[in-house]
Chains A and B, each alone.
Chain A
Amino acid sequence: MRRPEAIVIGCSKGGFNALKLLLGALDPQLPQTVLVCCHTASGAGVLAGLLAAHSALPVIEVGERQPASPGIVHVAPGGYHLLLEHDRHFALSVDEPVCFSRPSIDVLFGSAADTYHAALIGVVLTGANRDGADGLGQIRAHGGIAVVQAPVSAEAATMPQAALDIAGADYCLPLEQIAPLLNRLCLT
């Protein structure tokens, strides 16, 4: 199996607490590019700042046309969809919201799958809508790995449940077991 080059994480309701825990437990040596799409009411700038205090890896809010860099957590800015170009630079769009969301997890997951193909891990965490399910399906179709937070352990079960129903998962785990799994998949 090819070693993953990127991890892409999607969440909404309850996402901040889940991300705090997950990013805090990642191995600081992780060489993968980490991408995060979290629907929040507050701006992504605020979210990135708050997460940085808890994360093992540096956290930044994505700016237009920045490169996706290894070993860094990139947070999607509010009000725009986040996509990746083949040269692994970010692109933003104001296309219609998907699942009432912009940024949308489906859009980011789909674009990441187009870019990293099988060398990608998609993670769907807690959330109260079904954004991310189709995107996770695309990741799997490209041969990437799908990880879903066990719905019973999620603050809001709808999003991980929809991901399981529509895309299925290679791993379905309680939140605190997800970071150790990612460390294992990414470092060995």
Chain B
Amino acid sequence: MPAPQPDAELEQIELDLFVQALKRRHGHDFSQYAQASLIRRVRQLVHAHHCGSISALTTRLLHEPDFLTLVIQGLSVPVSEMFRDPPVFSALREHVLPILASYPQITIWQAGCAHGQEVYSLAILLEEAGLYERSHIFATDFNPDALQRAQEGIYPARDAQLWSRNYLLAGGRQSLASYYSARYDFIKLDQRLRRHITFADHNLVTDKVFCEAHLVLCRNVLIYFSNPLQNRTLALFRNSLVRGGHLCLGLRESLDFAPTAVDFTAVDANLRLYRRNSQPSSEEHDEAA
């Protein structure tokens, strides 16, 4: 016979308490994350750590100093690909790099870098356009474990096939294999690609503007945020961009509903590629710092 019905209200209370504990005890604020994905991740944490309930998870979070790292790893979704959505990288190559080339120094911010797949893809684009020597990329994430792996640039060899295909579809000029060495079941990216990248811990919810960028790339992070948090984060990107700077979002993310949309013009709306207007709009929105 059917098991007793899951108690949705009880679970919601437990989830709220967990989120509060995470915020008050550790300063990580998930209160404005989209709930459907968050609850899924939290349930997976309960399961993975044999906690039995979200409350038991909260207890460990409060009392075990080392548990936070595991919780952040579980809530972060460092799933990515090199040259994911190849047409986006072609568009960056064709429309954005020629504009970046007009600056003596190029600053790029890639937010939510996961294991670094996307930031190394950018480095390759810049290298092939002869722009990398005067570029600097800040790759940020709030998951220290992901940042560590991003620095290492080591990936399972089974991913290389898809990534090579993506690279070629994105207009790559050589073979992706010329940028990595393969050993056993792993590939290791050429360490030289790292020379102009700074990896840093930055939380989009609580941290502020830290650079003046010509390009901000933040893909598949906003989908995890509620609408108000998306709006705030988009204002943060606006404030981090020079006038005429570019913003690139994930294919299922959009600027359209955010107040800061008035400050941007679409370069390619389908590819979620936008450019900050060179003239201020009458009402620049100031929600983020």
Contacts A63-B252, A64-B254: A95 and B2 contacting too (C-beta < 8 A)?
no
Instruction: State in angstroms the CA–CA spacing of A52 and B41 once bound together.
Output: 34
Q: Are B79 and A95 in contact (CB under 8 A)?
A: yes
Contact with A along B194-233 (1 / 0, CB 8 A): 0000000000000000000000000010011001000000
Q: Does B24 count as interface, using CB distance less than 8 angstroms?
A: no
Q: Are B77 and A94 in contact (CB under 8 A)?
A: yes
Residue of B nearest to A62 (CB): B252
Interface residues of B in 221-273 (CB under 8 A from A): 223-224, 227, 250-254, 257
Choose one: B2, B3, B77, B257; the contact of A93 (CB below 8 Å). B77
Q: How many whole Å from A172's CB to the nearest CB in chain B?
A: 17
Instruction: State in angstroms the CA–CA spacing of A65 and B35 once bound together.
Output: 12
Q: Are A141 and B8 in contact (CB under 8 A)?
A: no
Choose one: B35, B251, B252, B257; the contact of A85 (CB below 8 Å). B35
Q: How many whole Å from B174's CB to the nearest CB in chain A?
A: 27
Q: Are B3 and A77 in contact (CB under 8 A)?
A: no
- How many A-B contacts are there with CB distance less than 8 Å? 62
Choose one: B77, B227, B251, B254; the contact of A95 (CB below 8 Å). B77
Choose one: A83, A86, A96, A142; the contact of B37 (CB below 8 Å). A83
Q: Are B34 and A91 in contact (CB under 8 A)?
A: yes
- Residues in A whose Cβ lies below 8 Å from that of B3: 141
The 3 tightest CB contacts between A and B, nearest first, are: A83-B36, A93-B37, A91-B36
Q: How many whole Å from B200's CB to the nearest CB in chain A?
A: 23
Q: Does A13 count as interface, using CB distance less than 8 angstroms?
A: no
Contacts A93-B223, A143-B2: A114 and B39 contacting too (C-beta < 8 A)?
yes
Instruction: State in angstroms the CA–CA spacing of A85 and B220 once bound together.
Output: 18
Interface size of B as a range = 20 to 34
- Residues in A whose Cβ lies below 8 Å from that of B254: 64
Q: How many whole Å from B268's CB to the nearest CB in chain A?
A: 17
Q: Does A74 count as interface, using CB distance less than 8 angstroms?
A: no
- Residues in A whose Cβ lies below 8 Å from that of B220: 94
Q: Does B65 count as interface, using CB distance less than 8 angstroms?
A: no
Q: Are B5 and A65 in contact (CB under 8 A)?
A: no
Contact with A along B26-42 (1 / 0, CB 8 A): 00000000111101110
Contacts A92-B252, A96-B79: A86 and B6 contacting too (C-beta < 8 A)?
no
Choose one: B6, B36, B252, B253; the contact of A141 (CB below 8 Å). B6
- Residues in B whose Cβ lies below 8 Å from that of A140: 2
Q: Are A117 and B2 in contact (CB under 8 A)?
A: no
- Residues in B whose Cβ lies below 8 Å from that of A136: none
Instruction: State in angstroms the CA–CA spacing of A39 and B185 once bound together.
Output: 29
Instruction: State in angstroms the CA–CA spacing of A30 and B140 once bound together.
Output: 48
Q: Are A64 and B253 in contact (CB under 8 A)?
A: yes
- Residues in B whose Cβ lies below 8 Å from that of A141: 2-3, 5-6
Residue in A79, A86, A92, A114 whose Cβ sees the most chain B Cβ within 10 Å: A92
Q: Are A117 and B40 in contact (CB under 8 A)?
A: no
Q: Are A85 and B5 in contact (CB under 8 A)?
A: no
Q: Does A35 count as interface, using CB distance less than 8 angstroms?
A: no
Q: Does A111 count as interface, using CB distance less than 8 angstroms?
A: yes
Instruction: State in angstroms the CA–CA spacing of A97 and B256 once bound together.
Output: 28
Contacts A91-B34, A91-B223, A95-B77: A80 and B40 contacting too (C-beta < 8 A)?
no
Residue of B nearest to A84 (CB): B36
- Residues in B whose Cβ lies below 8 Å from that of A91: 34, 36-37, 223
User: Can you give 25 A-B contacts (C-beta < 8 A)?
Assistant: A64-B252, A64-B254, A77-B252, A79-B251, A80-B252, A83-B36, A85-B34, A85-B35, A86-B35, A91-B36, A91-B37, A91-B223, A93-B36, A93-B37, A93-B40, A93-B77, A94-B77, A94-B220, A94-B250, A107-B40, A140-B2, A141-B3, A142-B5, A142-B6, A143-B5
